[in-house]
Amino acid sequence: MTEPVLQIPEGWEGRAPQNWEWQTLWEAVEEGDHKYTHNRVEQAIEASIDPRVILDDGLFPGFNLQGDRFSEQIIFIPEMLITARAMKTGLALIRPLLAAAAEKPVGTFVMGTVLGDMHDIGQSIVTIMLENAGFNVINLGTDVHPDRFIETAEAEHADLVGFSALLSTTVYYQKVTIEEFVKAGHRDKVKILVGGAPTTQEWADECGADGWGRDAVQAVKLALRLVEEPREAWA
């Protein structure tokens, strides 16, 4: 086992103002210091650093370092949770900056993490990027029962729905949720996207989804394409 090391984003100096430093933010996220994270992200926003740069160069390095340690079982749930809280503090600040100024939404997207799964960092990033692309996103959070996805899609007349899953045991609920949409007679009224680290295009095909997004950028491209495709109208 090799001790994970901080992966410093290549060329970050070129994307930040002169004399800027990210080291203290990398350490704050790593240590789960959400107050410092909040202050430093605010300073980065005030310094007019692009929010995506804040995410990639400022927030991800410390998060990924702890994530690698968690995967290697060097740290455990409590430490990972406080790092995730710091990460989410930063995400909450950049979210409004990325939100689209579009007058009419491109479409309505219902997003959530499937039943039994508490991971929400990835789907929160996909949500922010979708909003940035002009979608009205209703995020149901984590541990979402299939019925809740269906009720919300129906109430909101959703165009697309997205299921995130990070555990090899919970990806199964992506398939179950799609089957529940079929049973409810709503499958053809929405386009369904699946994602999350253990998922693949093959899995998306197997579980009956309309598409799979490897990351937030692919998710947005896919959503923009699928929203143009014909669907059965909501009554």
Residues that bind ligand B12 (CB under 6 A): 67-68, 70-71, 77, 80-81, 84, 116-123, 125-126, 162-164, 166-168, 193-198, 213, 215-216, 219
The SS3 assignment for 212 reads: strand
Whole-number minimum distance, CB 18 to ligand B12, in Å?
A: 30
CB of 62 to ligand B12, least distance (A): 12
Of residues 103 and 216, the one with the C-beta less far from ligand B12: 216
C-alpha separations of 228 from 105, 137, 222 in Å: 13, 17, 10
Nearer to ligand B12, 177 or 186 (CB): 177
Nearer to ligand B12, 43 or 71 (CB): 71
DSSP structure class, residue 12: G
Strand order in the sheet with 136-139: 136-139, 108-113, 160-164, 191-195, 211-213
Compute how many other C-beta atoms are within 10 angstroms of the C-beta atom of residue 198: 12
CB of 188 to ligand B12, least distance (A): 19
At residue 137, what are phi and psi to the nearest 5 degrees? -105, 125
- Determine contact, residues 82/29, Cβ cutoff 8 Å: no
For ligand B12, the closer CB: 178 or 219: 219
Q: Which residues pair with 191 in a beta bridge?
A: 160
Nearer to ligand B12, 20 or 105 (CB): 105
State which residue, 47 or 197, has the beta carbon closest to ligand B12: 197
The answer to whether 199 and 165 are in contact (CB under 8 A) is: yes
CB-count exposure of residue 205 (10 Å: 0-12, 13-18, 19+): exposed
Q: How far is the CB of 39 from ligand B12 (least distance, A)?
A: 21
Angle CA(206)–CA(128)–CA(31) in degrees, nearest 5? Answer: 100
CB 195, min distance to ligand B12, A:
2
Q: Closest separation between CB of residue 161 and ligand B12, Å?
A: 8
